[in-house]
Structure 1
Amino acid sequence: MRVELVNTGTELLLGDTINTNAAWIGQRLAALGIQVTRQTIVPDGAVIRVAIAEAAQRSDVVLVSGGLGPTNDDLTRESTAELLSLPMELNEGVLGHLNEYFSKRGKPVSEATKRQAMVPRGAQVMPNPFGTAPGLYFPAALGEMLGWNAHIFLLPGPPRELKPMIKNEVEPKLREWLPDGGSRRVLYLKVTGVGESDIVEAVEKRLECVPGLDLGYCIRGGDVDVRLAGAQSSVDAGAAIVREAFGDCITSEDRRIIEEVIVQFLTERGEWLATAESCTGGTIANRITDVSGSSRVFGHGWVTYANEAKQQHLGVPAALIEKHGVVSEEVARAMAEGALKNSGADHALSVTGIAGPTGGTPEKPVGTVWIALASKNAETWTMKRFSPGARDRFKLLTSQAALDMLRRRLCGIALRQ
């Protein structure tokens, strides 16, 4: 199945808005075993007509996002109707939705907004409970006179409106059209602490020998997603190979990121986490608190960037810093144990390192970091990592290593040095 994306919006071309829709759609379709063959971005205005026509000539499905609003440069709906020679008609159902939507907000429906209730004859309305512009589906038969065989979907641009419409309206149709849509399975094994090249070296040749297995990799947020797709038996065989090689490094098999996994573990155990961060500047705490429900498991977080802060808030002895240096196993340990004591939590993570680009020495170059985990009734774990590069990348990889240290303790898995 050949699927193309046509993204509309001058703001996308100017760089004012990042096109997250395309990435999200690509991931959703990949989970169905569909690879997007082409993406096109065009500015607002009449050029959208050309883009849709070109995509429809070479594709089975065209997904168009944006340009369905009330302004004079929102021309996606009108351009598609002109291409297919379809008259525009007032849709009472859409008009009723608009009246209800604005009535709840104490506003009248403007004449410009009523344009969104005009629907090309033959197009099917896709409800939009999260906005005003409905989606529209044009069956392939409407383009037969032009020599097309493409199903065309017009989708709203805002992600909060587009994503539910993709899930509820578009994906069910795509599954119907896939010859193996009912039997195909996709599994994402999220591996952390192992580089993509190491994964390839260890398992790729064996995975390539599994009949009917589609294989892919994606580096994302400090993890490597190993994507296995095909019949259930093929996916099971591939997953067994990856688990055998990297079972202790697989943080999830359902696309959850590590902080979501940790919040779930802590919630199930009724335990609390505290953090004491220096070089990451609160990144670990931020990642945890980005997860819904984290208030049940996270109560204290310190950003002790200065040595004085480590001494005052965590009880790290000045003599310890003087003797071993602030970036040391001893200081990381003292930070974690101080956070555990002062917070009353069940676990406390600490990090101290050199994010750079300045501040390094031959003995402790930029990218050096010590991580510690103190837990009630357990020995304190410490480990050293070296992640040179940009500051944001250093913070990401350091926070990832710290969270994985905690995951291993919660799962009863040995620390990977």
Structure 2
Amino acid sequence: MKIEIINTGTELLIGDVINTNAAWLGQCFVELGLEVSRSTCVPDGAAIQEALGEACARVDVVIVTGGLGPTMDDVSREGASAVFGLAMDFDDEVLAWLTAFFASRGKPVNEHNKRQAMKPRGAIVMPNAHGTAPGLYLPAELGAARGLNCHVFLLPGPPRELKPMMTEQVVPVLRSLLPDGNSTECRYFKFTGMGESDISMALQGALEAIGGLEIGYCLGKGDVDVRLRGSVAALDEAGTLCREKLGEFLVSDDRRLLEQVVVEKLKEQGQWVATAESCTGGFIASRLTDVSGASGVFGLGLVTYANEAKTRQLGVPSALIEEFGAVSAEVAAAMAEGCLQVSGADHALAVTGIAGPGGGSEGKPVGTVFVALASKGRATEVRRRSYPGGRDRFKMLTSQTALDFLRRRLSGFDLPGE
């Protein structure tokens, strides 16, 4: 099944709005085992009809986002009507719904809003629970008179309206269009702590030997996704292979992020974590608390940016800082151990480093960071890492390393060496 996406809106082309719909829709299709052959972005107006006509002539399904609003440049309905050679009708049920919607807000339906009750003759209305623009589905048979054999879905542009409509109404129709026996799926195996080329070297040959797999690699922020598409049997075999070869580096096989995996493992083991951060300014704590349910496993996060704060809040001896420097293995260990004692947690992560662009030295250049993990009943471990570059990159990679150290400990793997 060939699929195209047409995102409409001049605001997308001039940069006023970032086009997140294309990426989100692409991921939806991947999860269905389908692949988008082309994604196009066009301005409001006549370009919509032109793009839709070209797409309908070459693919099986077209998804159009935007152009369903009340203003005169919202012409996705009219464009589809012209491509399929269909008259435009008012839908009485939609008009009644719009009338009630605005009446509940003490307003009448104006003539522009009434345009949203129009549809190409024969199109199926998809209710919009989050806005005033209903979606429309034009089955392929509506284009038979013009030699078209393409299913068209017109969806609203705002993501909060598009996403539930796609998930709840479009996806079931797409599943019904798939041929019997279609069992192609796509899975993502997320790795961290290894480079993209090293992962490829370790897996590529063995994955190719399975047969029937489409293999792709995607470099993320501190991790690498290995994207595999194929039959369920092939994917199961590939999953076993990934665990056997690179199990200690495997974060998830279902697109869960590192912080989600850490929170879930802490929950499973009934344990808590606390953080003491200097150079990352609370970013590790932020990532943990982005996960729903983190309050059950994360009790305390301290940002001890100044040396005095390290001493006052964590009990790091000032003499230790004077002797080894705030950015040192010794201070990182003391921060983690102090955090463990202060918080009463089962684990404590601590980081101290030089984010730059200034502050580096020959022995400790910009990008140097020490990551420490202290756990009850275990010796504290510290590792030195180097992440030169911008401050955002430094914070992301440092937080990734810290969270991965905890994931490894919770999973029974040793921490990596220097």
Task: Work out whether the TM-score is over 0.5.
Answer: yes
Partners of 1:219 and 1:295 in 2: CA distance:
30
Partners of 1:274 and 1:106 in 2: CA distance:
51
Unaligned runs of 5+ residues in structure 1 are: none
* 1:190 matched residue in structure 2: 190
Partners of 1:206 and 1:53 in 2: CA distance:
43
Partners of 2:336 and 2:45 in 1: CA distance:
57
Measured at CA, do residues 54 and 391 of structure 1 come closer, stay the same or move farther in structure 2, by a change above 3 Å? same
Partners of 1:56 and 1:118 in 2: CA distance:
21
Matches within 5 A, 1:259-408: 259-408=259-408
* 1:121 matched residue in structure 2: 121
Q: Which amino acid letter does the alignment assign opposite residue 262 of structure 2?
A: I
SS in 1 for 2:316: coil
Partners of 2:274 and 2:369 in 1: CA distance:
19
Partners of 2:29 and 2:259 in 1: CA distance:
25
- Alpha carbons 2:282, 2:302 under 8 Å: kept: yes
SS in 2 for 1:58: coil
* 1:133 matched residue in structure 2: 133
* 1:168 matched residue in structure 2: 168
SS in 1 for 2:280: coil
* 2:239 matched residue in structure 1: 239
Measured at CA, do residues 182 and 115 of structure 1 come closer, stay the same or move farther in structure 2, by a change above 3 Å? same
Structure 1 residue 144, shift from structure 2 partner = 2.6
Matches within 5 A, 1:4-15: 4-15=4-15
Worse-superposed segment, 95-104 or 197-206:
95-104
* 1:219 matched residue in structure 2: 219
Partners of 1:408 and 1:161 in 2: CA distance:
40
Partners of 2:158 and 2:376 in 1: CA distance:
46
Q: Which amino acid letter does the alignment assign opposite residue 415 of structure 2?
A: L
Measured at CA, do residues 97 and 316 of structure 1 come closer, stay the same or move farther in structure 2, by a change above 3 Å? farther
TM-score, normalized by length of structure 1? 0.94
Structure 1 residue 180, shift from structure 2 partner = 6.0
Measured at CA, do residues 322 and 96 of structure 1 come closer, stay the same or move farther in structure 2, by a change above 3 Å? farther
- Alpha carbons 1:32, 1:181 under 8 Å: kept: no
Measured at CA, do residues 6 and 309 of structure 1 come closer, stay the same or move farther in structure 2, by a change above 3 Å? same
Matches within 5 A, 1:50-65: 50-65=50-65
- Alpha carbons 2:85, 2:146 under 8 Å: kept: no
Measured at CA, do residues 314 and 181 of structure 1 come closer, stay the same or move farther in structure 2, by a change above 3 Å? farther
* 1:16 matched residue in structure 2: 16
Q: Once the two structures are superposed, what CA deviation does each residue of 1:9-54 show, in whole Å capped at 9, x if it has no partner? A: 1221121221111111112212223221111111222221111112
Partners of 1:416 and 1:181 in 2: CA distance:
44
Worse-superposed segment, 329-338 or 376-385:
376-385
* 2:31 matched residue in structure 1: 31
Partners of 1:406 and 1:370 in 2: CA distance:
15
Structure 1 residue 284, shift from structure 2 partner = 0.9
Structure 1 residue 107, shift from structure 2 partner = 5.3
Partners of 1:342 and 1:140 in 2: CA distance:
66
Measured at CA, do residues 293 and 136 of structure 1 come closer, stay the same or move farther in structure 2, by a change above 3 Å? same
Partners of 2:180 and 2:320 in 1: CA distance:
64
Structure 1 residue 137, shift from structure 2 partner = 1.0
CA RMSD of the aligned region, Å?
1.9
* 2:208 matched residue in structure 1: 208
- Alpha carbons 2:30, 2:185 under 8 Å: kept: no
Structure 1 residue 171, shift from structure 2 partner = 2.2
Structure 1 residue 113, shift from structure 2 partner = 2.6
Worse-superposed segment, 266-275 or 332-341:
266-275
Measured at CA, do residues 309 and 55 of structure 1 come closer, stay the same or move farther in structure 2, by a change above 3 Å? same
Measured at CA, do residues 290 and 95 of structure 1 come closer, stay the same or move farther in structure 2, by a change above 3 Å? farther
Partners of 2:171 and 2:360 in 1: CA distance:
51
Q: How many residues align?
A: 417
Q: Which amino acid letter does the alignment assign opposite residue 6 of structure 1?
A: I
Structure 1 residue 99, shift from structure 2 partner = 4.6
Structure 1 residue 181, shift from structure 2 partner = 6.0
Q: Once the two structures are superposed, what CA deviation does each residue of 1:294-322 show, in whole Å capped at 9, x if it has no partner? A: 22222221222222222222222211111
Partners of 1:207 and 1:311 in 2: CA distance:
52
- Alpha carbons 1:175, 1:181 under 8 Å: kept: no
Worse-superposed segment, 141-150 or 367-376:
141-150
- Percent of matched pairs sharing the same residue: 60
Measured at CA, do residues 374 and 150 of structure 1 come closer, stay the same or move farther in structure 2, by a change above 3 Å? same
- Alpha carbons 1:368, 1:387 under 8 Å: kept: yes
Structure 1 residue 268, shift from structure 2 partner = 2.9
* 2:142 matched residue in structure 1: 142
Structure 1 residue 337, shift from structure 2 partner = 1.5
Measured at CA, do residues 96 and 292 of structure 1 come closer, stay the same or move farther in structure 2, by a change above 3 Å? farther
Q: Once the two structures are superposed, what CA deviation does each residue of 1:59-106 show, in whole Å capped at 9, x if it has no partner? A: 221111111112222221222123323222222333344355556656
